[in-house]
Structure 1
């Protein structure tokens, strides 16, 4: 495996870091975080840099860049202190191209290129998260008078405020074993959206959505009837890998900020970085940063070469989410009061905690990975 960065990748990373350094958006991010607003200035920079088309499939007109390039982009975004957790919507494009109708592809694909949220994804419910089965999914679809009607309550839905549609998992009211995905409009009659209060991720909205006899048509079905979970399952492993990229990228920012602070802060007549107990924190962070990056480069290479195993995606997500939270805790300790009071490290500290929960908790990643590993030794 050769993990040397190509000249094109190096120029891309350089362009991202130069653009974000020049704009100096940290005070803007703080304002957006306080006001729970999407950082539109940041989004405009990403669009200008071509980041939205970069990872879309070539058959859709994108650049078709792979996982290693994705890691490098997210690493650069994280290093600059951006809300890198926002940069993931484009991963839905593969499933859309594979399972969407011509009309659905023509409707939603252009939105990815613009950086607009093409649609939210409505899987979780108050009774269903990790367990998405017919016994836990209570949202239903009912056919009546040539139309389809959606009823139910979706929970923890990211990005719904800015999305006109939600790709909604529902069960057939007449045959509950059939779980099917539908594109359901969220700004029309019968639909109610409410933002949820969250500990972090304040530049992204997380929502409850209620459907009360929302009328749609058969053409709004995604994939085939009863194929609700399989239609997007291929993307789950890549999403978990990207979750790991996100955790690493945010931790990298906190690590580098803490190292810079340790070289500047004077205590007892010298830089605190010269104190052995502070050096212990630096070493603990460095070990995890290096381990995360090496693991992710290897797994990204596997993804680009069609070799990524399911357990690798879960291992990456579990290890990086745990390690990133540990790194940021060390960074907070090094930076002490200044870290706690308004620095971007305190924002990262809040934002990172969700990485151990979203996309499948650490506990479910352990179950997924261990099952796959044990199969090989039967």
Structure 2
């Protein structure tokens, strides 16, 4: 099935990326997992290799490649025993930078998108709030216009790269009386006075820095408004389709990694005088999970192909994330079980993979929220439309 979407150039890119990750990233993973801080040098190396610019215009230092190079980038990042490291990379490249490219003016693109592609600046997307969760429209952070400035007050939480980011893409209400029609998007440099970030202690994604951020009378120039005032909500919704598809691809990739690792382990492990990959109960369980993962891959690739053509695949991306993250959790749970006691040991990858995978059905919209969105589309015939810039 892969040959439908991946050319020889794609496969060469995958090989190059694998070699880069094994050489430059894997030797540092255990340190970053323990410290919770990914050192700045690796961001610059990713930038030098062009990995942050895969999907971005050449005018800003990008490569302007098709979406399946991004698919490869996401898949291979899931196979190096740290979904936290992977999250830091893709949250920068496909959450923060997506807004820079889509809604940023030329000044913002030159000052922030160009160095982001080069790995010289790190970005974070700030939408979720302590009392809001998946309820984007219910956010309380405000941005009040005062002369030639906006003054931001409020807080955000669960923000990937929140502590060591150089800039935030912040959603705030410019007109609270308008509900979701009163939300706007801003660029906020993290050196601005009045910002404080607190690192959060998480179950998984330990290498990734996740923060709660407070904005206390933070003043930014009016030029840091991105796009039109009051259009923040449709901008956010526009990009949720790609974020959900990213998390779906991450899901099938880490599940595939778990299966490959477990099959290799089973081929070496002996019990009752034979290799455990000869026990029918285990063989059949692996086959069931492999079938589920392959179904997810085929669906996710098809959705990616449509998104690459410019189609608005919010329904398919929502379905993809809902299913793929569930399949990943179920697959990794079974794979850990097949390793027995060793699956519970930290020196083997399944323990960390199980913790890391649990974020899948939560981040980027919980599975419960996704089901309600799909219910509105499938049962109530609601039609979500893309934002008009």
Residue 339 of structure 1: how far off its partner (Å): 1.7
1:166 to 151, 163, 168: 168
1:71 is matched with which residue? 71
Deviations along 1:48-106, whole A, 9 cap, x unmatched? 54322222234534222222222223223333445333332222444323322221111
Indicate conservation of the 8 Å contact 1:325/1:349, yes or no.
Answer: yes
2:369 is matched with which residue? 364
Indicate conservation of the 8 Å contact 1:55/1:90, yes or no.
Answer: no
Residues of 2 paired with 1:49 and 1:129: CA distance? Answer: 35
Residues of 1 paired with 2:24 and 2:342: CA distance? Answer: 19
Indicate conservation of the 8 Å contact 1:311/1:370, yes or no.
Answer: no
2:62 is matched with which residue? 62
1:35 is matched with which residue? 35
Cα–Cα, structure 1 residues 145 and 290, in superposed 2: closer, same or farther, change >3 Å? closer
2:262 is matched with which residue? 258
Indicate conservation of the 8 Å contact 1:80/1:253, yes or no.
Answer: no
TM-score under structure 1 length normalisation: 0.90
1:244 to 245, 248, 252: 248
2:87 is matched with which residue? 85
2:330 to 316, 326, 330: 326
Indicate conservation of the 8 Å contact 2:10/2:68, yes or no.
Answer: no
Residues of 2 paired with 1:143 and 1:5: CA distance? Answer: 48
2:149 to 144, 147, 150: 147
Residue 41 of structure 1: how far off its partner (Å): 6.7
Cα–Cα, structure 1 residues 335 and 39, in superposed 2: closer, same or farther, change >3 Å? farther
What is the number of equivalent residue pairs in this alignment? 375
Indicate conservation of the 8 Å contact 1:251/1:327, yes or no.
Answer: yes
2:350 is matched with which residue? 345
Indicate conservation of the 8 Å contact 1:123/1:132, yes or no.
Answer: yes
| Greater shift in the superposed pair: 216-225 or 165-174 | 165-174
Q: How does 1:1-378 map to 2 (within 5 A)?
A: 3-21=4-22, 23=23, 26=26, 28-38=28-38, 43=43, 46-83=46-83, 84-88=86-90, 89-91=92-94, 92-116=96-120, 118-133=122-137, 136-144=138-146, 146-172=148-174, 177=179, 178-342=182-346, 343-374=348-379
| Greater shift in the superposed pair: 317-326 or 70-79 | 70-79
- Gapped regions of structure 1 (runs ≥ 5): none
Indicate conservation of the 8 Å contact 2:163/2:211, yes or no.
Answer: yes
Residue 231 of structure 1: how far off its partner (Å): 2.6
Residue 191 of structure 1: how far off its partner (Å): 1.4
2:378 match: secondary structure: helix
Indicate the RMSD between aligned Cα atoms, in angstroms. 2.5
Deviations along 1:31-54, whole A, 9 cap, x unmatched? 211221216576465445432222
Residues of 1 paired with 2:260 and 2:121: CA distance? Answer: 31
TM-score under structure 2 length normalisation: 0.88
Residue 25 of structure 1: how far off its partner (Å): 5.3
Residue 116 of structure 1: how far off its partner (Å): 4.8
Indicate conservation of the 8 Å contact 1:78/1:252, yes or no.
Answer: no
Residue 286 of structure 1: how far off its partner (Å): 1.1
| Greater shift in the superposed pair: 257-266 or 335-344 | 335-344
Deviations along 1:269-316, whole A, 9 cap, x unmatched? 111111122213312221122112111121111112233521100000
Indicate conservation of the 8 Å contact 2:50/2:63, yes or no.
Answer: no
Deviations along 1:185-212, whole A, 9 cap, x unmatched? 3333221110111111111111111111
Indicate conservation of the 8 Å contact 1:167/1:181, yes or no.
Answer: yes
Cα–Cα, structure 1 residues 59 and 313, in superposed 2: closer, same or farther, change >3 Å? farther
| Greater shift in the superposed pair: 362-371 or 111-120 | 111-120
- Gapped regions of structure 2 (runs ≥ 5): 384-389
